[in-house]
Amino acid sequence: MDWANVIWAGITGGIAMELSAILLHLFRFKRASMVSYEGCMITGRTSGVGSYLAGLAMHLILSLLIAFAYAWGFQVIGTKASWFYGLILAIPHWAIGGLVVPLVDKVSGCVKSGTVEPLTIFASGNLTFFITFLIGHLVYGVTFGWMLSRVSQ
């Protein structure tokens, strides 16, 4: 496996994930962006270019790290990367993420101060958060699998 390609596909998946959150927000979904959430954890604010860039950097680092888990998943499944198998791997990614966010809520100063709403388990505290959280993970998986299949040819 070419790890440079895995890194590139992971970063692209993270960008696609954030773009899906922005697009859903444009369709009147309540703002549910991990970039905004993570930016607040770093800067203490949800607005401003600095907070957005800090959150984007943190989210892309996480996307890059998760890319290695996806690459390992393709090896365990015994298949080449594809959008379809990326979609399949997005389900455990979503499940693990959905179980982790309540732990992050507990340590987030922004949640404690009320600057951002808690995401709760599977971002289920709000239906549009839940949908955005699910779609974002599916978009990551599809994008990662598709990108890795394209650059690995």
Token pair for 142: 């599809």
pLDDT interval class at 35 (50, 70, 90): confident
Largest CA distance in the chain: 49
* Domain residue ranges of the chain, discontinuous segments joined by +: 3-151
pLDDT interval class at 33 (50, 70, 90): confident
Question: 30 pLDDT exceeds 80?
Answer: no
pLDDT digits (tens, 9 = 90+) for 57-97: 999 999 999 999 999 999 999 999 999 999 999 999 999 99
* Residue % of the chain over a pLDDT of 70: 99
Average pLDDT over residues 42-68: 92
Per the prediction, the chain carries an average pLDDT of 90
pLDDT interval class at 153 (50, 70, 90): low
Question: 125 pLDDT exceeds 90?
Answer: no
Question: 127 pLDDT exceeds 70?
Answer: yes
Average pLDDT over residues 36-50: 89
**pLDDT computed for residue 69 by the predictor:** 96
33 vs 12, higher pLDDT? 12
> How far apart are the C-alpha atoms of 95 and 84, rounded to whole Å?
18
**pLDDT computed for residue 11 by the predictor:** 96
Q: Do residues 17 and 63 make contact, with C-beta atoms less than 8 angstroms apart? A: yes
How crowded is residue 50: how many other Cβ atoms within 10 Å of its Cβ?
12
How crowded is residue 109: how many other Cβ atoms within 10 Å of its Cβ?
11
